Amino acid sequence: MNEKLTMFKELTEAKGISGNEKEVREVMKKYISPFATEVYTDHLGSLIAKKVGQEDGPKVMVAGHLDEIGLMVTRIDDNGFLYFQTIGGWWNQVMLAQRVTVVTEQGDLVGVIGSKPPHIMPAEARKKPYDIKDMFIDIGATSKEEAESFGVKPGNSVVPYFEFQPLKNEKLLLAKAWDNRIGCAIAIEVLRQLKDIEHPNIVYGVGTVQEEVGLRGAKTSTNMIEPDIAFAVDTGIAGDTPGISANDADSKIGKGPQIIIYDASMISHKGLRDFVLKTADEHQIPYQYATIAAGGTDSGSIHLTANGVPALSIGIATRYIHSHAGILHQDDFDNAVKLIVEVIKLLDKDTVHQITFD
């Protein structure tokens, strides 16, 4: 496995639901530190890697979020079964019978999400998605006391379990938590490719926390950085699987990064969007347009910071997001990095002023 795939494996397999991102933050820190002038965190735990090109140049933020969707233990019943609160957006139909990892101070526990079997349910009930509030996690404990002796207590993180795996077509990569470890990987690779290149600005590669529960780490990290230009790099919907019409989503994996022109949290900054598209055309970098009618990215918080920050979200089309396993295409990663790097090379003071005020 090459260095890039090893990085993908370590990032995606790391456990880091919203509010407990320490493990994945350490992975990102390991990979990004060699290319940064300085690495630090804000008080919520977002990782900030600063790379100085020109000391008095504009500040450019490239942010992926560290957190993944997961669950939190809320109570243990007398028979040792765990009940939970969802962390981030889950769809009932992708949850049952899935393996999870319960993170405790005594170590990780294997569990499975369980429910009442359909064989004993009324016919009408079997036709409906099973209610999340009636699901539980089975860790093999026989009592509340035994579960507690394993280290389980309310507040424990519960993380989807899935191993990173390239598919037979090795361009396609299967893993949990692509949303949004791929954005973190892009921030790392952008700084790596800028390592020995002069650029007229200061670049911040950021891994934000708590995106899935309200774009929270983007607020604090952006307040700390005070960027002049910002990119949120996240996953987007792939519309290339059966049952999805072009009106639902028309992006295809492998056809280039998505330029998010609209989502529920922001309208992309026209000046920055036009500049990025012009740069992509000049360098023959493929891209796709996308909108997200019912969701947002860290740009939603970033662009409202202080007096406002020109921001653009760039997406990587991904199949089956917000489930245990997603699929994306390596070429989209490579082209997203190439596009952001080429844009950063051009973002001097005059260009940023023109983008912001013209």
Q: Which residues are CB-neighbours of 62 under 8 A, at least 6 positions away? A: 186, 187, 190, 203, 204, 205, 206, 230, 231, 233, 340, 344
Pairing of strands 202-208, 59-65: parallel
- The active-site residue, picked from 10, 21, 211, 212, is 211
> For the CA atoms of the chain, what is the radius of gyration?
21
Indicate if 148 belongs to the active site.
no
**Nearest-angstrom CA–CA distance, 168 and 18:** 32
| Backbone torsions φ then ψ of 27, nearest 5 degrees | -65, -45
Catalytic residues: 211
